[in-house]
Amino acid sequence: MYCIAGQEDYDELIDFANYVFSQAHGPTDFPSLLPKLYKPEYFMDATHYIAREDGRIKAAVGAYPLVLDFPEGSAPGRGIGMVSVHPYCRSRNHMKTLMNLALADMRRDRVAFSCLGGQRQRYEYFGFTPAGSGYTFTCGEANIRHSLGHRKEDWGGDFSLQRLDSGDEVLLDKIQALHEAKSIRIRRSRERLFDILSSWKAQVLGVLRGGEFQGYMVACRGNISEINLRDYSRLPDVIGLFLRDRHETEAQVSVASHETEKIAGLSCFAETYRISPAYHFAVFDYPTFLTPFLRLKSQMRTLQDGSFSFQIEGGPLLELSVQNGRAFAEEKIERKNVSRVMSANEALQFLCSFSGESVFPEIRENLFLRSLLPLPLFFESPDHI
């Protein structure tokens, strides 16, 4: 029997998911791993699709509401998580059925996009594929020492790091304000902000200078999944202070591809960097989902005017265009001037991946597309499902 879980199913579902993930990945406790989703009081904000056999839960898929905010508006989304099947009940199509139920509801509710993490091919069958891009900079002790030019004991100068808890209301208000100042972001409830930032076993660290708030970082061991400062010229001081105080030898710092000021600051001293996909995405409403990234790209560089149309298999005919530096994505009805037909997975790679220029000759051979693509799709780790 397939159904949607109610509040009365919370304890059984959490126990079931903890068991399945613990068997596959080691000890797992969902409420402590992801308090932003699995605290009892948040449970019914999401939709949990479950399969029962003989009255007992044997599979589950969770769909969690998201909103992508940008200056011109917003795009509704849903993240997929808690995908779990009892090890004795595999090969019974439970996962396929529950995923399709979740996707059908997203299309019914006119959700613009969905996202998840997991093994690539497993989810490409459902229309999800790795897309977007983000930088990960590696900053080691030697980089800090040569950059700052003074002893380790003096790293950070008059900066300090303060580990926050849920009661640090004033600093959390300031963190929320910094987040909302971003040009594009996943909406974060202020009431749940601490739970959001401290999910995935992360710690929230306020960055202070002379006791005054200068920014924050979200970190788990040596991984800084999010860092936002008022002055990025002081990144060596802040990263050095983090390494010294946390007794780490190096830090991995995640940055969006459109955060040019942050990238410039890290590039001055980091040992190296890599570029990786942002997350796995499926898109249902391309114009709504792409609009903020098109606007963002037009702010990052001067775009060449032009247009390009392509058909998505089983989906819309899309036209990308730039007029007087303004970029647009529109669905078209007329089947004229279609340059290419591609799958939904290919479309996201074409639009939003650094590898697109290598994969698609249309990009290499078209100055308009080379100026526009890839779009700067990014998804910050604290917002992962």
Residue with tokens 């939904």: 344
- What tens digit of pLDDT does each residue of 70-83 get? 998 999 999 999 99
> What's the confidence (pLDDT) of residue 370?
96
> What's the confidence (pLDDT) of residue 150?
83
Q: Is pLDDT above 90 for 338? A: no
Average pLDDT on 257-262 reads 95
| 51 in Cβ contact with 94 (< 8 Å) | yes
CA quadruple 260, 206, 69, 66: dihedral sign:
positive
Q: Angle between the 235-246 and 141-148 helix axes, to the nearest 10 degrees?
A: 130
Q: Is pLDDT above 70 for 278? A: yes
Q: Is pLDDT above 80 for 213? A: yes
Residue with tokens 């949990």: 48
The total number of residues written for the chain in this structure = 385
Sequence ranges of the domains in the chain: 2-111, 135-276, 281-372
| Helical segments of the chain, H only | 10-25, 30-33, 35-38, 94-108, 120-124, 141-148, 169-180, 193-197, 235-246, 260-267, 286-300, 344-352, 356-359, 361-364, 367-372
Average pLDDT on 224-253 reads 96
Share the mean pLDDT of the chain. Answer: 95
* CB neighbourhood size of 52 (10 A): 16
Locate 351 and state its tokens.
């639009």
The answer to whether domain 2-111 and domain 281-372 are alike in fold is: no
> What's the confidence (pLDDT) of residue 314?
87
- Largest Cα–Cα distance of the chain, in whole Å? 68
CA-CA distance, 35 to 28, in Å (whole number)? 13
CA-CA distance, 359 to 374, in Å (whole number)? 12
Average pLDDT on 128-137 reads 97
- What tens digit of pLDDT does each residue of 21-54 get? 999 899 999 999 999 999 999 999 999 999 999 9
* CATH class name, domain 2-111: alpha beta
| 72 in Cβ contact with 291 (< 8 Å) | yes
371: CB partners within 8 A, 6+ apart: 301, 302, 303, 304, 322
> What's the confidence (pLDDT) of residue 346?
96
What confidence tier does 336 reach under pLDDT thresholds 50, 70, 90? Answer: low
CA quadruple 368, 369, 370, 371: dihedral sign:
positive
| 283 in Cβ contact with 344 (< 8 Å) | yes
pTM of the model: 0.94
| 131 in Cβ contact with 79 (< 8 Å) | no
| CATH of the domain spanning 135-276 | 3.40.630.30
Q: Is pLDDT above 70 for 270? A: yes
| 50 in Cβ contact with 59 (< 8 Å) | yes
Per CATH, the architecture of 281-372 is what? 2-Layer Sandwich (3.30)
CA-CA distance, 329 to 139, in Å (whole number)? 38
| 13 in Cβ contact with 38 (< 8 Å) | no
